[in-house]
Amino acid sequence: MRVVVDKAQSRGYANHGWLKTHHTFSFANYYNPERVHFGMLRVLNDDSVAPGEGFDMHPHKNMEVISIPLKGYLRHGDSIKNSEVITPGDIQVMSAGTGIVHSEFNDSGNEQLEFLQIWVFPREENTKPHYASYDVRPVTSEKNKLSLIIAPDGSAPASINQDAWFSLGNLDAGQVKEYKLHSKNNGVYLFVIDGEVEVSNTILSKRDGAGFWETNSITIEVLKHAKVLLIEIPMMK
């Protein structure tokens, strides 16, 4: 097994006043040649947006963009006539394909918005742009389970233009969970939203991340009640 660990305090950080953002991988003005991507996982941003503020219309092309709200109200708008608000328990998936322009705003006038934005390189480029949101509460409501929310084979509520599996877990202290990878060519990136876990003799705390590859599985030992996100993706095209 090969392992890379990205501690929370080592991430890139920018404070734009209305936006406070941490970058696990190189993004915008943060560049670390050791941290450009993990396999097909290109971006993992941890964003906090002030009430009523947000990202004006901006373009994306040939990228799978997944947004996972952690707190508050995330309003999405785009050039293919989608407009809606999602909250924790929902996710949104956008395949930029040949090109899409979109905006993301905090829809609340008094509450902070916190969300994860994840970019994954697509399996196929220059496809028709697509957007959808999904209520994943029916699969994530069960505690002490790694709940699949994105999969390429119809086994989860959502899918993207990549052989990727995303799972969320709400795990009590003392739980031990084995995650089995779907292909020997894949790796899995574990991001600790909250709490503390141990994987492969590595302790990971709130907002720490770690990537594991050249292995068939990983074992997650929960040291303090934890919420975790697992992203399994191919390590190469």
What pLDDT score was predicted for residue 82?
86
In CATH terms, the fold of domain 138-234 is Jelly Rolls (2.60.120)
CATH architecture of 12-136: Sandwich (2.60)
For 211-226, how does the pLDDT look when each residue is reduced to its tens digit (9 = 90+)? 999 999 999 999 999 9
- Whether pLDDT at 237 is above 80: no
Q: How far apart are CA 52 and CA 236, in angstroms?
A: 39
Q: Where are the alpha helices (DSSP H) in the chain?
A: 137-140
Beta-sheet strands, E only, within 51-164: 54-60, 64-71, 74-78, 83-86, 90-95, 100-106, 113-120, 130-135, 146-150
The H-or-E segment that residue 14 falls in is: strand 12-15
Place of tokens 């890379």: 4
- Average pLDDT rounded to a whole number, residues 185-214: 98
pTM, two decimal places = 0.97
- Average pLDDT rounded to a whole number, residues 158-167: 97
- Average pLDDT rounded to a whole number, residues 163-187: 98
Q: Over pLDDT 90: what percentage of the chain?
A: 93
Same CATH topology for 12-136 and 138-234? yes
What pLDDT score was predicted for residue 22?
98
pLDDT bucket at 63, cuts 50 / 70 / 90: very high
Average pLDDT, the chain: 96
For 3-54, how does the pLDDT look when each residue is reduced to its tens digit (9 = 90+)? 999 999 999 999 999 999 999 999 999 999 999 999 999 999 999 999 999 9
Q: Which residues contact 162 (CB under 8 A, 6 or more apart)?
A: 40, 64, 120, 121, 122, 123, 152, 233, 234
The domain segmentation of the chain, as residue ranges, is 12-136, 138-234
What pLDDT score was predicted for residue 137?
96
- Whether pLDDT at 104 is above 70: yes
